[in-house]
Amino acid sequence: MTVHFRSTTLLGGIALAASLIAAPAIGQEAYRIGALNPVTGAGNTYGSGMQKSIIAAAAEVNAAGGAAGRKLEVLAEDGQTSAEPAVLAAKKLIEVNKVNAILGTWSSSVSLAIQPMTLASNIILMHTSSAPTLFTQNQRNLDWGFQSGSKYNGRAMAAAVKKEGFTKPAIMSFNNDAAINNVGFFRKAWEAAGGKIVAALTYEPKRTSYRSELQKVLAAKPDVIALSGYLPDTTIILREAYELGATAKFIIPDWAAGPALLKALGPDVSQGVLVYGTVPNIAGAAFKTYSAAYKKALNTSGEENVFGAQAYDMVISLALAIEKAGASADNVAIAKEIRAVSNPDGEKVTSFAEGKAALKAGKKINYEGASGPLDFDEDGNAVADFALFTYDKGQYVKRYLLQ
């Protein structure tokens, strides 16, 4: 029976090692947040920034005396943008670190995989994923989506395409859940308004060339191509489209754009590429606080990471909800207050300290976040303002707000 002996000693070894280095002494009142972010894997462009933003926001809350007197404590994990490691990480956060909330899961696959665990343990989950199932399984309002879902992305794209006067759009989508849903909702919105899609195609990641894909789409002579993908494939596709002399314009989401795309393509190729995205409230005070913290932690501009601002807002709105619900409130009671501190009809506040003071004074508040106004719809999905951006002579410029 060596089998048993060995496996139990090994398990015992894990247990011992874990108990020696388990979470540091925790005060009774601390509210523990698990930052489960895509530090590696497909979401790596954003993960570190999200994690640092969560830590910075928690520090800000603690500096203002904590939420309802409870200090926030952040435990960071790498979800690896992959379901299985994320499940193990979430399990560790929940069972070993005893977190009260998990913040900043990014891809739908990760959020879908850990949602049953967080629901079963009454843990608040704040994510940036868009899979429709995530919202339908959210019966107790414990789950909150901080990234405007596919529905809103699709509508924004349709609005932009219409406003720019295009009549023959084509669709190209990266083969994953989020990208397919984005263009799917674009198609829905566009066809509902009586429009027609001239060509639609789903492409696979990690190809060395997308020439035949482009050839197929361009054969339908579209005047604009709604391209839903990520930075590496978007870089290659836009470059090849230029090389092939395509005249159709492209409209792409902001997470595949930004300064990195400009750097990769240069001013000529990027000229006139349309970018839709949610507008962080750049002029707002919350964004300035976030941006300063981001710059300090990562030495790059927070504007480059839309999910960083969302991760920052997760902590602030959660802390305000704790503040409102009171020190002894459980997660269900806290989650109930998320809408109450974020949605309209209250005094607009732009920081935790400001909100805390207003709440103390007995006022209703409406947190205006770094990532947007942060008003949640009936599904618990934040509805943000969208805008159209473009590249013009090597500059990334905002054109106008989308309705």
Partner 1 sequence: MLPYLVTIAIMIGIYGLLTLGLNLQYGYTGLINFGHVAFFAIGAYTSALISLAGYPIALGMAAGTVLAFLAAYPLGLLCLRLRADYLAIVTLSFSEIIRTVLISEEWLTEGTQGLPGIPKPFSSLSQGNADLAYLALVATAMLVAILLMWRLSHSPFGRLIRAVRDDEDAVRAVGKDPAQLKIKTLMLGAALAGLAGAFYAHYVGYISPDQFLPLVTFYAWIALIMGGAGTITGAIVGSSLLLFILEGSRFLRDVVPFVSEVQMASLRLAVIGLGLVLFMLYRPQGLIPDRSQS
Partner 2 sequence: MTEYINLVIAGTVQGLVIALAALAISLSFAVARFPNAATGDTMTVGAYVAVLVQAATAGSLLAGSIAAIIVTTLVSVACYFLVFKKLERRPLVASLIASIGIAFFLRSMLTFFLGFEQHVFQIPISRALNFSGIRIIPIDLWLSGIAILVLAATFVLLFLTPLGRRMRAVAADMDLARASGIRSGRVMIALWAISGVLSAVAGIMVGIKTVVTPDLGWDLLLPAFAAAILGGIGSPGGAVLAAILLGVAQEVSTPFVGFTYKIALSFVALIAVLIVRPAGLFGQPERVR
Which of partner 2, partner 1, none interacts with 245 (beta carbon under 5 to 8 A by kind)? partner 2
As a whole number of angstroms, the distance between CA 92 and CA 217 comes to 46
Angle at 337 between CA 141 and CA 143, to 5 degrees: 25
Helix (H) or strand (E) holding 328: none
Size of the site for partner 2 (CB under 8 A): 35
| Among 18-26, 208-216, 287-295, 370-378, the segment contacting partner 1 (CB under 8 A) | 18-26
As a whole number of angstroms, the distance between CA 403 and CA 260 comes to 27
In the beta sheet, which residues pair with residue 74? 33
Helix (H) or strand (E) holding 210: none
CB 327 within 8 A of CB 68: yes
Contact between 37 and partner 2 by CB under 8 A: the answer reads no
Binders in 42-81 for partner 2, by CB under 8 A: 44-45
Which of partner 2, partner 1, none interacts with 150 (beta carbon under 5 to 8 A by kind)? none
In the bound state with partner 1, the residue whose beta carbon lies nearer, of 14 and 283, is 14
Q: According to CB under 8 A, which one of 12, 259, 266, 344 is a site residue for partner 2?
A: 266
Rg (CA), the chain: 22
Contact between 332 and partner 1 by CB under 8 A: the answer reads no
DSSP annotation of 329 reads -
Q: According to CB under 8 A, which one of 263, 296, 363, 398 is a site residue for partner 2?
A: 263
**Per-residue contact flags (x/-) with partner 1 for residues 131 to 170, judged by CB under 8 A:** x-x---x---------------------------------
Phi, psi angles (nearest 5°) of residue 394: 80, 10
The three-state secondary structure class of 313 is helix
Size of the site for partner 1 (CB under 8 A): 54
In the bound state with partner 1, the residue whose beta carbon lies nearer, of 147 and 181, is 181
The three-state secondary structure class of 82 is coil
Phi, psi angles (nearest 5°) of residue 220: -80, 5
Pairing label, strands 386-392, 395-402: antiparallel
Which of partner 1, partner 2, none interacts with 269 (beta carbon under 5 to 8 A by kind)? partner 2
Binders in 147-186 for partner 2, by CB under 8 A: 175
Contact between 78 and partner 1 by CB under 8 A: the answer reads yes
In the bound state with partner 1, the residue whose beta carbon lies nearer, of 196 and 207, is 207
β strands within 79-220, DSSP E: 101-105, 124-127, 143-145, 169-174, 199-203
As a whole number of angstroms, the distance between CA 335 and CA 26 comes to 23
As a whole number of angstroms, the distance between CA 140 and CA 300 comes to 38
Which of partner 2, partner 1, none interacts with 163 (beta carbon under 5 to 8 A by kind)? none
As a whole number of angstroms, the distance between CA 107 and CA 165 comes to 33
What are the residues binding partner 2 (CB under 8 A)? 40, 44-45, 175, 201-204, 206-209, 211-213, 215-216, 219, 231-232, 235-236, 239-240, 242-245, 260, 263-266, 268-269
Contacts with partner 1 by CB under 8 A lie at: 2-3, 6-7, 10-11, 13-15, 17-19, 21-23, 37, 39-40, 44, 47-48, 51, 75-78, 80, 82-85, 87-89, 91-92, 94-96, 109, 112-113, 116-117, 120-121, 131, 133, 137, 175-177, 180, 204
